[in-house]
Amino acid sequence: MDTESTSERELWERLPFVEGDVKAELLLDLCNQALDRKSAAEALTLAETARGIYQSSGAYVAPSDVANAYQGIAEALRKLDRNQDAIEVMGKAIEILQELQDPYVDNLLRTKALWCNQAGDWEGALQSNLEAIRLNEIDGNAEWEANSWIGAGITYMNIGNYQESIKCLLRAREMFAEIQMVPHVGRCDIQLADAYRKAGDFENARSYGTKALHVAQLMQERVMMAWAYLRLGQASSKRGDFVIASGELEQAYYAAVRCYSYEMDWDLIIQIQSERAWVFRMTDRSFMAEEAEAQIQTITEIIHPEWLEGNQND
């Protein structure tokens, strides 16, 4: 039996012999183990039980422990696709940690912002990112501040404010470059290529896409290569260079599908195949477009069945 499983078994064996906050702490450890096993329903029960113990203990409990319980509940709700509930509960954890002036609350703010972005709550995402930036500016942690600027840039891009998005992403890039975090500069360049493309500046989109590709190639990072080639292909197709776009998107496809199975980013593959299908149709290759669209349909049915529900009801 592996060490992780043994550790979980030992936690369960200790549980009947402890009470109060010690028991709650063990329950939260078990919650984390359950989340690692993708047993979200079990994790939720464990975290809620821990929170109940803390609440019944009243003034004798450290507020940070209660915040940890809320965080466990939020993570479990997220895994159960109860996104709005997860965001609300994570907000409770953040409120407690802000009152305590906890130095790591910015990390939870970025997590909440990411969840809000994925749920289409742009206002909530932007508010959380900007608050994280404010805290990072105070504590002087350049790496985390740069991460917060990336989050703000992505949020501005989602709401269509591309110029503000570019400003945020350039700020993040500058900060990462100052501390020589090359892979993170590459991440910024992928986002900048996307923002410039959406703003209609295809020259800068290709420039930053190329920079991202250089970093990815030197790192031999296939997923990053796929993203960079995708951004280049999108910029080329938008300006009507379909032959160039076809080649770049093919490179994106091969980089994405030649990863190890645990690295496969299926949402990225769907994006790549969607772009390729469009280019195929624009270049009179309908058979290849239909093949790509069939692949998209198959993967979407598996990982995003909710995307198809509306179409089935039409």
Last residue of a domain, one of 66, 99, 132: 99
- As for how many domains the chain has, the answer is 3
| pLDDT beyond 90 at 17 | no
How many Å separate Cα 238 from the centre of its chain?
26
Residue 57: which domain range? 1-99
User: For residue 95, how far is the Cα from the chain centroid?
Assistant: 22
Give the model confidence (pLDDT) of 104-148 as tens digits.
Answer: 999 999 999 999 998 999 999 999 999 999 999 998 889 999 999
Are 50 and 108 in the same domain? no
* Inside any domain, residue 314: no
Alpha-helix runs per DSSP H in the chain: 3-14, 20-36, 40-57, 63-79, 83-99, 105-119, 122-139, 142-158, 162-178, 182-198, 202-219, 222-238, 242-257, 266-282, 286-303, 305-313
In a domain, 137, yes or no: yes
Whether 313 is covered by a domain: the verdict is no
Residue 152 lies in a domain: yes
What global pTM score does this model have? 0.87
Residue 270 pLDDT: 97
Q: Which of 99, 114, 144 is the last residue of a domain?
A: 99
* 187, 283: one domain: yes
Judgement on whether residues 75 and 45 belong to the same structural domain of the protein: yes
Residue 154 domain flag: yes
Query: Which of 99, 115, 143 is at the close of a domain?
Result: 99
Let me know whether 192 and 291 are in one domain. Answer: yes
- Is the pLDDT at 230 greater than 80? The verdict is yes
Q: What sign for the dihedral angle of Cα 223, 224, 228, 229?
A: negative
The yes-or-no verdict on residue 210 having pLDDT over 90 is yes
Q: Is residue 14 part of a domain?
A: yes
Domain assignment of residue 276, yes or no? yes
pLDDT of residue 260: 83
Residues comprising the chain, all counted: 314
Identify the CATH number of the domain in which residue 279 sits.
1.25.40.10
Instruction: Let me know if residue 311 belongs to a domain.
Output: no
What's the mean pLDDT in 155-167? Answer: 97
Please check whether residues 127 and 95 belong to one and the same domain: no
Do residue 221 and residue 186 come from a single domain?
yes
Say whether both 187 and 207 belong to one domain: yes
Residues 164 and 216 in one domain: no
Residues 221, 155: one domain?
Answer: no
Distance CA 104, CA 68 (A): 12
For the stretch 91-99, contacts whose Cβ atoms lie closer than 8 Å and that sit 24 or more positions apart, written own/partner, are: 92/67, 93/67, 93/68, 96/63, 96/64, 96/66, 96/67, 96/70, 97/64, 97/67, 99/63
